[in-house]
Amino acid sequence: MAQQYLGQGPADSDQVVASFDGHAEIVLENWEILSRLRADPYYQEVVEPSEAKLIDKASVVRRVGYEEVWVSDGKAAD
């Protein structure tokens, strides 16, 4: 499912990152959130055009992972 949202480019998941000039980490509860974000009119009209000026999307390296919570509120998580 991640491939549907992230696509494939010259910087596929096995590429080693030697140098870069920025980093962003996005934590989502589920992939539907990303779909809703991209469909939002404000994102499409304001954010996305700004991204095009700041980010060379063809050279972006994408990584997909997950978070394991071992401790929550000072207690062992279930």
Position with higher pLDDT, 67 vs 7? 67
Query: Where is pLDDT greater, at 38 or 13?
Result: 38
Q: What is the pLDDT of residues 15-47, one digit of tens each?
A: 555 567 788 888 888 889 999 999 999 999 999
Buried b (16+ CB within 10 A) or exposed e, 34-71: eeeeeeeeeeeeeeeeeeeeeeeeeeeeeeeeeeeeee
Q: For residue 6, what pLDDT band results from cuts at 50, 70 and 90?
A: low
Q: Where are the domains of the chain?
A: 27-66
